[in-house]
Chain A
């Protein structure tokens, strides 16, 4: 166990170092952009998993990302907020909205919760489309200010955004990791396993479910805000229904049961469409096929692959030994 922990720790350090090296030495804007996308999606898929720890499968993420993106952009553009403050407010607002909708939503369980959470995405997207005076409607927003520079750092190059997103991702993952291994994470898992029993030992299950949903919402809003200032343009359909489903697919394909799952899923499934550009228009089909294969063949997700291979090898070795014997 402790050797596995040490291995995990070592792997994390190596990965972070590798990412720093990428940031320092890779200059191709396209490669850096892909890395930035990966990191954004890692945070989103991981925050979806955090909500899922408490037994709720949320599909509200697209709406919360949109909310965060527009909040941060509009605060900076119309009210002249510092971009950093706007970014923070975007996260907090998305968290607050999650908290508000969380109370009625979490009264529903299982698939019913998931269904109402989808409607939330549609409500946000439609609101943004219709509220032309504020959001620019379907034509969207452009010339969103880049993050304010400080200490002589200017946020113009891809490299600067790469490092900014790297810091955001590492901080977010660290917080989510700390929550998961704390008593709060344990309580989430307990509620998922037996919510009546959890209630009977005095756990306010509604409160904890809303808490999980709000923390997840905060990170979704934060990533949305980052995107707005990074791309500098927004349109209302950027984070709609399909986007939300993709986040879900990242989590499940990687493995919802492990912390590394969404990280692996988001990484591989962001790289895949980039290397398979000719198949671009078929990507939803490809993703659906991958999702179904994973669900049928290895429901624990790609994180379970090493263990499966290990077992397979041992089994073949044993079979051969049996044949020889």
Chain B
């Protein structure tokens, strides 16, 4: 589904991402891990068009999408979540999801401005779909709350819901668990598993190893912008390069 070839980004003399090859197949749940500063978020920014690569190709469903604008990559079916500024703060939770359905709303300028019958009907469907997504993510009770006033964990959940509202073929989650309490971590992990079981292909950046190990089928490990390992959770745990990257020397990854 997704093929990345020799993807590279140089910031001045620093190679933030260097010659990374990887692929994600339809229906997989792949973890992208690595120590702080390994280039994981930069890698996401390259995939989604926020940063233009210095070198390399990104192919999605056979099409070359390298260097396309973010909104065009979203319409091709790759949607990401953000670590920061991850919600429309002034909107209610429900309106966040209404806006996020921009791509499949199918309402044009004149229809919405003149509020035609068709547009109103479609808006009702969109609202309903938004409610279903909130249900799925488990934050329906917050539908009328202003997104900016949500606690951190719920904001994160809403961030995922926004990405889901685009009906992604490939969902990129950037550290969805960061800053969550234990209960929220369990909930979110369960959500990610549910999404995957429902057929969404997911690429997940995560620092919480225990949680990531519990859901991902396969891992790709970055360190200093290079891919140092790839494989199943067990292979990764015992890979000497990975152990060295995380701990310096010896013993296994906790």
Contacts and interface: CB of A to CB of B under 8 A. Distances in A.
Interface string B65-104: 0000111001100011010011111110001001110110
A204 interface: yes
Given A201-B165, A202-B71, A202-B166, A190 B114 contact: no
Contact of A200 (B80, B109, B115, B123): B80
A202 B102 contact: yes
B244 to A, nearest CB: 35
A197 B86 contact: yes
A179 B88 CA distance: 19
Nearest to B166: A201
Interface stretch (A7-15, A92-100, A181-189, A298-306): A181-189
A190 B88 contact: yes
Interface in A187-226: 187, 189-190, 193-194, 196-205
Contacts of B165: 201
The size bracket of the interface on A is: 20 to 34
A123 interface: no
A201 B103 contact: yes
B126 to A, nearest CB: 9
A189 B90 contact: yes
A194 B147 CA distance: 12
13 contacts: A175-B113, A186-B95, A190-B88, A190-B91, A190-B99, A193-B91, A194-B85, A197-B82, A199-B70, A199-B71, A200-B80, A202-B102, A205-B71
Interface of B: 48, 50, 69-71, 74-75, 79-80, 82, 85-91, 95, 98-100, 102-103, 105, 107, 109, 112-115, 119, 123, 162-163, 165-166
Interface of A: 175, 178-179, 182-184, 186-187, 189-190, 193-194, 196-205
Smallest CB-CB A-B distances: 9 pairs: A202-B74, A202-B103, A182-B112, A183-B112, A199-B70, A201-B100, A193-B88, A190-B99, A194-B85
